[in-house]
């Protein structure tokens, strides 16, 4: 018995990494998924792997028209019950090394993308009887993250938008929660060497990185009806690193 | 009933303190017991009042689950030690602990008596210290790490005139996070669930007016009344393998009540 039986879930940035793990888990739990990303080859391959339970759409989260296209794909499947705002970029630079262009790029993908996504899905979710939105922030949205001011700014913004949207959307039976991953073993961390990533683990009480599949487990809980009374919550999944 | 494998709880051993509930009502502890058993765990239902724990076990056995009712008063170290030893000798291991025992209070520091203040701190905080003190070494000996959930309250974050209770539930959060740091390297995870105003025997057994119930329901931005199952599902999730990279967290199950801080008549 799947925990997401009959649900239709839209995942932005779902072609690889955490988004792909979430797509696989949602399908394993009985959902069908719409995967959006810029990476067409990876996205199409994943949709083919999920064989009938997934469609891939080319989607740049900064473009409203691309959200419309993703929503059309969901509507063609029969509705929408979940959104994972997962697309993101991480180009860590210290304050004095960050220029306006780098700052704006993070704002557009991580923050504007999440805002456009939340806004775009509301009518179809409401028509589908309500739903659950999961915004993928970061531990960089819970504390001062070293050397990544633009990224931090956007991930704090996601945390705040989550709470404001949770209040706005509650009357429409839409729940909104944020997830704050610590170091997770995906391509995103390749901005640092394996050695540098290893070094940072000394600050993690559980002494290891998390996996994309572990994030998917939390996301499944938040998408499912098991968390029907949970909204506006923030959950770090970081082996204790923000403590 | 075949338990879902994905929780990773099949054959695991869980202790739930305060796992009884008045009558046939579904309290937070009872709901957690039933859900853990459905996921395949062997559940030790601990209650000071054995009859209440036995009722929970009857509900579990009716579904084909495994559970035992035992009476321990978790306010003393000796009883907590005996409780853990009981689980270990009965089932040979200990994996999960839901610290659900808690009592309410009413009044400001000016109104509160010293005796009652001490009693609330003792029942709500010391019990969690004592159960963990004995459970953590047993979990480590069991070889698979362990998971603890301590039940805090929305009152820790949004106080409404239940001052001693608020303080005790705030301490529960600090205790949980400190244990997460101390025992993370041992593979022990510790998290809190903080319920909002949920409708359980703890709050309605002594009588609750329809008006008070309605005020509590409306405190949720979702406009829906929460219940013991909502809390139980969060507890099961955090105790399970589904949460194996989550520690030191404070998960609100409050229908969004903390977002807006409305009146909820305590
Ligand atoms: N890996 C970590 O340690 C970590 C930690 C905290 C938070 N996160 C967050 O988790 C989320 C997923 O990251 P990941 O670890 O899977 O990394 P990833 O780089 O593998 O995945 C990010 C995905 O987003 C897509 N994407 C980027 N810009 C896009 C755009 N404009 N439109 C649509 N898609 C776009 C990428 O193509 C990629 O598939 C991100 O929001 C990230 O910030 C990651
Ligand atoms: N219901 C709510 O609205 C709400 C809100 C916030 C927090 N909580 C918390 O939830 C927890 C309790 O929830 P519940 O619904 O299971 O309550 P409950 O009253 O149904 O069950 C508590 C059980 O604990 C037992 N108990 C009390 N003291 C004990 C002791 N010293 N040793 C052993 N057993 C003892 C009682 O006999 C009772 O059966 C408490 O920690 C409470 O503070 C509840």
pLDDT in tens, B206-262: 899 999 999 999 999 999 999 999 999 999 999 999 999 999 999 999 999 999 987
B24 found inside a domain: yes
Mean pLDDT over A168-189 rounds to: 97
d(CA B241, CA B10) in angstroms, rounded, equals: 11
Higher-pLDDT residue of B90 and A197 is: B90
B253 found inside a domain: yes
Rounded to 10 degrees, the C-alpha dihedral B212/B217/B221/B227 comes to: 140
B264 found inside a domain: no
pLDDT confidence tier of residue B263, bands split at 50, 70 and 90? confident
- The predicted pLDDT at position B4 comes to 80
How far B5 CA lies from chain A's nearest CA (Å)? 11
Q: Which CATH architecture has domain A8-237?
A: 3-Layer(aba) Sandwich (3.40)
| CA nearest neighbour of A161 among A136, A144, A181, A182 | A136
How many alpha carbons lie under 13 Å from residue B138 in its C-beta half-sphere?
27
d(CA B52, CA B55) in angstroms, rounded, equals: 5
CB atoms B181 and A167 under 8 Å: no
pLDDT in tens, B187-222: 999 999 999 999 999 999 889 999 999 999 999 999
| CA nearest neighbour of B45 among B72, B69, B12 | B69
pLDDT confidence tier of residue B5, bands split at 50, 70 and 90? confident
B10 found inside a domain: yes
d(CA B101, CA B53) in angstroms, rounded, equals: 13
Q: Is the CB of A43 under 6 A from ligand 1?
A: no
pLDDT in tens, A154-163: 999 999 999 9
Q: Which two tokens stand for residue A61?
A: 């989260």
pLDDT in tens, A78-100: 999 999 999 999 999 999 999 99
Q: Which domain holds residue B20?
A: 5-257
Q: Is A151 a catalytic residue?
A: yes
Do B16 and B46 contact (CB within 8 A), yes or no? yes
Angle between the A113-127 and A149-169 helix axes, to the nearest 10 degrees? 20
Q: Is the CB of B21 under 6 A from ligand 2?
A: yes
pLDDT in tens, B161-178: 999 999 999 999 999 999
Judged against a pLDDT cut of 70, whether residue A1 lies above it is answered with no
Mean pLDDT over A184-208 rounds to: 92
- The predicted pLDDT at position A203 comes to 87
Q: Which residue shows structure tokens 């610290």? A: B99
Phi-psi region of B250 (alpha: psi -120 to 50; beta: other; left: phi over 0): beta
Mean pLDDT over A14-31 rounds to: 98
Q: Which residue shows structure tokens 């993703």? A: A70
Measured between beta carbons, which residues in chain B are less than 8 angstroms from residue A236? 246, 248-249
Mean pLDDT over B65-75 rounds to: 98
Q: Total domain count for chain B?
A: 1
ipTM of the complex: 0.94
Tell me the pLDDT of chain B averaged across its residues.
Answer: 96
The CATH number of the domain holding residue B53 is 3.40.50.720
Do B87 and B44 contact (CB within 8 A), yes or no? yes
Beta strand B96-99 with A32-37: parallel, antiparallel or unpaired? Answer: unpaired
| Chain B 133-152, residues with CB within 8 Å of chain A CB atoms | none
Q: What are phi and psi of B162, to 5 degrees?
A: -115, 65
B197 found inside a domain: yes
| CA nearest neighbour of B202 among B2, B79, B29, B5 | B29
Q: Is the CB of A89 under 6 A from ligand 1?
A: yes
Q: Which residues of A29-54 are buried (b: 16+ CB within 10 A; e: fewer)?
A: bebbbbbbbebeebbbebbeebeebb
Rounded to 10 degrees, the C-alpha dihedral A174/A176/A71/A172 comes to: 20
- Which residue(s) pair with A58 in the sheet? A37
pLDDT in tens, B109-145: 999 999 999 999 999 999 999 999 999 999 999 999 9
B53 found inside a domain: yes
Q: Which two tokens stand for residue B7?
A: 């929780």
- 3-class state of residue B140 by DSSP: helix
- The predicted pLDDT at position B1 comes to 60
What is the residue extent of each domain of chain A? 8-237
Rounded to 10 degrees, the C-alpha dihedral A73/A76/A79/A85 comes to: -10
d(CA B16, CA B7) in angstroms, rounded, equals: 17
Mean pLDDT over A8-28 rounds to: 98
């Amino acid at each position: 018995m799947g925990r997401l039986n009959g649900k239709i879930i839209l995942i932005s940035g779902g072609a690889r990494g955490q988004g792909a793990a979430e797509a696989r888990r949602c399908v394993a739990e009985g959902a069908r998924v719409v995967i959006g990303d810029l990476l067409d080859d990876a996205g199409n391959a994943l949709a083919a792997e999920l064989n009938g339970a997934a469609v891939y759409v080319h989607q740049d989260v900064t473009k409203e028209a691309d959200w419309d296209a993703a929503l059309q794909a969901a509507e063609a499947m029969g509705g929408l019950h979940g959104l994972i705002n997962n697309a993101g970029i991480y180009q860590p630079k210290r304050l004095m090394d960050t220029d306006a262009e780098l700052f704006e790029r993070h704002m557009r993908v991580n923050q504007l993308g999440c805002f456009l996504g939340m806004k775009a899905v509301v009518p179809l979710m409401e028509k589908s009887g309500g739903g659950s939105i999961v915004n993928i922030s970061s531990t960089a949205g819970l504390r001062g993250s070293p050397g990544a001011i633009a990224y931090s700014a956007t991930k704090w913004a996601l945390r705040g938008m989550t709470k404001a949207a949770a209040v706005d959307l509650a009357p429409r039976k839409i729940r909104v929660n944020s997830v704050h991953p610590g170091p997770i073993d995906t391509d995103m961390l390749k901005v640092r060497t394996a050695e540098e990533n290893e070094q940072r683990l000394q600050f993690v009480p559980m002494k290891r990185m998390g996996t994309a599949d572990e994030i998917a487990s939390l996301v499944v809980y938040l998408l499912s009806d098991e968390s029907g009374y949970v909204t506006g919550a923030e959950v770090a999944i970081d082996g204790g690193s923000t403590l | 009933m075949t338990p879902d494998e994905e929780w990773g709880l099949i054959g695991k051993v869980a202790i739930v303190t305060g796992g009884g509930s008045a009558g046939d009502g579904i309290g937070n502890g009872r709901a957690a017991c039933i859900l853990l058993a459905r996921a395949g765990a062997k559940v030790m239902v601990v209650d000071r009042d054995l009859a209440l724990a036995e009722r929970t076990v009857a509900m579990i056995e009716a579904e084909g689950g495994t559970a035992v009712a035992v009476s321990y008063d978790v306010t003393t170290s000796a009883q907590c030690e005996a409780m853990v030893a009981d689980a270990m000798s009965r089932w040979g291991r200990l994996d999960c602990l839901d610290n659900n025992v808690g009592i309410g209070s009413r009044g400001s520091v000016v109104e509160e008596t010293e005796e009652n203040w001490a009693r609330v701190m003792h029942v709500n905080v010391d019990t969690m210290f004592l159960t963990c003190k004995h459970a953590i070494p047993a979990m480590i000996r069991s070889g698979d790490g362990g998971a603890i959930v301590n039940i805090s309250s929305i009152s820790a974050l949004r106080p409404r005139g239940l001052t001693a209770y608020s303080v005790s539930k705030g301490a529960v959060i600090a205790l949980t996070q400190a244990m997460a740091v101390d025992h993370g390297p041992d593979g022990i995870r510790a998290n809190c669930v903080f319920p909002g105003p949920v409708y359980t025997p703890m709050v309605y057994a002594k009588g609750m007016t329809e008006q008070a119930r309605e005020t509590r329901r409306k405190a949720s931005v979702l406009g829906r009344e929460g219940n013991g199952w909502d809390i139980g599902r969060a507890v099961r999730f955090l105790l399970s393998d589904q949460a194996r990279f989550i520690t030191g967290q404070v998960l609100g199950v409050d229908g969004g009540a903390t977002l807006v801080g409305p009146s909820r008549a305590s």
